[in-house]
Structure 1
Amino acid sequence: MPESPEHIFLSKTALEIMENASRSRLFGYTEGQRKRFDFSCDLKKDWSKVVAGQTLWRHGGDGIDKDLRTLLHEQDIAAAVYIARHESSNRARLAEVTQDYLKTMRESLTRLRVFWVPADFDADDESARKTVRNLLREEITKDLLLQVALGGLTPQDVTRFAASRRPGLPLGIMSHVKKHGYRNHRHTAKALGIDLNALKLETERLFVLGFLRSDSLQGGDYSVTDSGNAMLDICSRLHNYLHGSLGDGNKNEEFEHICKLLGIDYPSIPTTTRLLIGEAEIDIQNPTALLLQHVAQADADGSVDWSEPYFDLPSSSDPSTG
């Protein structure tokens, strides 16, 4: 059976949303070969995570079982995306199938992300296309990209990170751990040129917040988590903003959209705002202002290796790359 216009539009739109989001420069994007899936792509940072998906429009019933089996048995994908027509029969069948998988493939099921599209969607209607595109953009960014590309970072994580009373130090610690590892408190305090007690308290705080991990429940021998790396990347782009080099006109629409989903309204803080300790003129109840203060102070202290932006990579389907 040939693919419907709705099926084609939804599959193409999912890829466009992820490719456009990569313009935030928080991750790279490469479109993958379709092979067994309706769409697939590779999101890249210092890792590579494959996202693959199926689109359900005309077929239902056993087709749902087949789609999920195809998705969930693929071990190499980080996220299995299912874009489906919102009908009661489809929802009921999906619930039945996933209930079965809970018994046999619980871990694989955690990779599944389902996005429902109104049943009356008509791909020939320009207004409907715009509405559905906006709906998918919001949901895919929040429920897929923040989880996969940004390590599950949440607005609460950002607020708690920004609430540290030691401006710049959390970023300095994470940057040091990422580059050099963490041998022990004393060695790291000496390397960073900071008070030992302050280092202990801030490192333990980062561990509790989930930005650092350790094989020991008591801490020690730390490494940076996925959400910690995402925070470093976001702060690096905020560093670009403070230096007027975020993008054309110091603007980046996709980065701004992702930041707002995380509760970061950085355009509300002018780049001329005094942020450094001793001269700050910021609202200490404003998480965005406090986060920018961390960035500005770490920059002034020279304690962070700011990550470079992640740029688009050639598409695997581009014949010029062969």
Structure 2
Amino acid sequence: MAESPEHIFLSDTALQIMDSASNSTLFGYTEGQRKRFDFSCDLKKDWSKVVAGQTLWKHDGDGIDKDLRTLLHEQDIAAAVYIARHQSRSRARLAEVTQDYLRTMPESLSRLRVFWVPADFDADDEGSRTTVHNLLKEEITKDLLLQVALGGITSADVTRFASSKRPGLPLRILSHVKKQGYRNDRHTAKALDVNLNALQFETERLFIIGFLSSDSPQGGQYSVTDSGHAMLDICSRLRDYLNGNLGDGNKNEDFEHICKLLGVEYPSIPTTAPLLVGDDDRDIRNPTSLLLQHVAQADVDGSVEWPEPYFAIPSSSEISTSQRS
């Protein structure tokens, strides 16, 4: 049976949203081949995470068992996306099927992300297309991209990170651990040339926030988590903003959208705003200003190895085309 215009629009829109979000340069994007799934892509940083999805539109609840079986039995995907028509029959059937997986394959079920689309969606209506696109953009960015591509980072994490009273030091610690690891407190304090007590306090804060992990519940030898890497990447792009290098006109709409979801309204802080330690007019009540203060201070100190932007990676078809030309 031929796919409906709604089915085609929803599958293509999911990919377009993830592709557009990669313009934030927080991760790379490559569209995958559509073989077993209605859509798939590869999100890349220093890792590769495959996102695959199915779209349910015309078949009500009849195809849900097959769709979820196809998605959840695939071991190589980091996120299984299901876009479905919002009908009571479909929701009831989905609940039945997921209850079975909750008992038998709970880890696979944790990868599932379901996005419901209004049942009266009409792909031939421009207003309807715009509404559904905006709906999916908000939900996919919050519930998929922040969780998968950005390690589950939240606005609360960012606020707690920014509230440190030692501007720049949390970034220095994350950067150091990413590059050289964390052998012990004294060795790291000496390498960073910081007070031992200050280092221990800030490292424990990063561990509690979830930006550092350790094999021991009490800490010790730390490593940077996915959300910690995301925080470094975000701060690196904020550094670009402060230096006027974020993009054309120092703007990046996709990065700005992600930052807003994390409570970071960086365009509200002029690049000329006083941010460094010792500036008398610093705004210490605004979480965004505090985060930018960390970035500005670490930049001036020259103590952070700032991650480069992640640009889109060419697809295999594009590589083949360029090689033939």
Aligned match of 1:95: 95
The residue matched to 2:305 in structure 1 has which SS? coil
Retained in 2: the 8 A contact 1:17–1:137?
A: yes
The answer to whether the Cα contact below 8 Å between 1:241 and 1:271 also exists between their aligned partners in 2 is: yes
Equivalent position of 1:68 in the other structure: 68
Q: How far 1:126 sits from its partner (Å)?
A: 0.6
How far did 1:111 drift?
0.3
> Is contact 2:28-2:313 (8 Å) kept?
yes
Alignment partner, residue 113 of structure 1: 113
Mapping 1:46-195, distance limit 5 Å: 46-195=46-195
Query: Per the alignment, in what secondary structure is the counterpart of residue 123 of structure 2?
Result: coil
Aligned residues with identical type, % of pairs: 80
Aligned partners of 1:140 and 1:75: how far apart in 2?
A: 21
Residue 317 of structure 1 deviates from its aligned partner by 4.1
TM value normalised by structure 2:
0.98
Tell me whether 1:241 sits opposite 2:252 in the alignment: no
| SS, match of residue 62 in structure 1 | coil
Q: In structure 1, the residue corresponding to 2:152 is in which secondary structure?
A: coil
Matches of 1:124 and 1:278, distance apart in 2:
59
Please state how far the C-alpha of 1:45 moved relative to its aligned partner: 0.3
For each residue in 1:191-216, what CA deviation from the matched residue of structure 2 results, as whole angstroms up to 9, or x when unmatched? Answer: 11111111011111111111100001
Deviation, 1:59, is 1.0
Work out the CA distance in 2 between the residues paired with 1:102 and 1:202.
Answer: 38
CA distance in 1, matches of 2:246, 2:174: 22
Superposition pairs of residues 29-48 of structure 1, within 5 angstroms: 29-48=29-48
Q: Distance in 1 between matches of 2:300 and 2:107?
A: 44
Q: Residue 52 of structure 2 contacts residue 81 of structure 2 at CA under 8 Å; is this kept in 1?
A: yes
User: How many aligned residue pairs are there?
Assistant: 322
CA deviations over 1:255-307 (Å, ceiling 9, x no partner):
00000000000000000011110115232111000000000000111110001
> Helix, strand or coil for the counterpart of 1:82?
strand
| Alignment-mate amino acid for residue 34 of structure 2 | R
Which structure 2 segments of 5+ residues have no match?
none
Equivalents in 2 of 1:117, 1:295: separation in Å? 39
The one-letter amino acid of 1:58's match is K
Partner of residue 28, structure 1: 28
Larger mean Cα displacement after TM superposition, 44-53 or 277-286: 277-286
Q: Hey, what's the Cα distance between the residues in 1 that align with 2:181 and 2:315?
A: 34
Shift of 1:217: 0.9
Contact 1:31–1:317 (CA under 8 A) maintained in structure 2: no
Distance across 1 between alignment mates of 2:121 and 2:182: 53
Unaligned runs of 5+ in 1: none
Cα separation, 2, equivalents of 1:108 and 1:316: 28
Amino acid at match of 1:283: D
In structure 2, the partner of 1:9 is 9
Give the structure 2 partner of residue 292 of structure 1: 292
1:62 Cα shift?
3.3
- Deviation of residue 321 (structure 1)? 6.0
In structure 2, the CA distance between the partners of 1:14 and 1:280, relative to structure 1 (3 Å rule), is farther
Q: 1:314–1:321: 8 Å Cα contact kept in structure 2?
A: no
Does the CA-based 8 Å contact 1:263-1:288 persist in structure 2? Answer: yes
CA–CA distance in 1 between the matches of 2:46 and 2:280?
35
Q: Partner of 1:279: helix, strand, or coil?
A: coil
> Helix, strand or coil for the counterpart of 2:63?
helix
Contact 1:32–1:317 (Cα < 8 Å) also in 2 = no
2:146·2:152 contact (CA, 8 Å) conserved in 1? yes
* Matches of 2:203 and 2:61, distance apart in 1: 52
SS at match of 2:316: coil
Q: Give the conservation status (yes or no) of the 8 Å contact 1:171–1:304.
A: yes
Q: Which residue of 1 aligns with 2:205?
A: 205
- Whole-Å separation in 1 of the counterparts to 2:143 and 2:114: 9
Superposed CA RMSD: 0.9
SS at match of 1:116: strand
Task: Give the distance between the partners of 1:280 and 1:123, measured in 2 at CA.
Answer: 55
Q: How does 1:303-318 map to 2 (within 5 A)?
A: 303-318=303-318
Instruction: State how far apart, in whole Å, the 1-side matches of 2:316 and 2:61 are.
Output: 33
Cα distance in structure 2, aligned partners of 1:151 and 1:120? 34
Task: Name the CA shift for 1:292/1:88 in 2 (closer, same or farther; >3 Å).
Answer: same
Q: Is the 8 A contact 2:37 2:54 kept in 1?
A: yes
Name segments (4+ residues, structure 1) moved above 6 Å: none
SS of equivalent to 1:79: strand
**CA shift for structure 1 position 316:** 3.2
Equivalent position of 2:254 in the other structure: 254
- CA separation in 2, counterparts of 1:21 and 1:229? 17
1:302 equivalent to 2:322? Answer no
Give deviations 1:111-143, integer Å, cap 9, x for gaps.
000000000101000110011000000000000
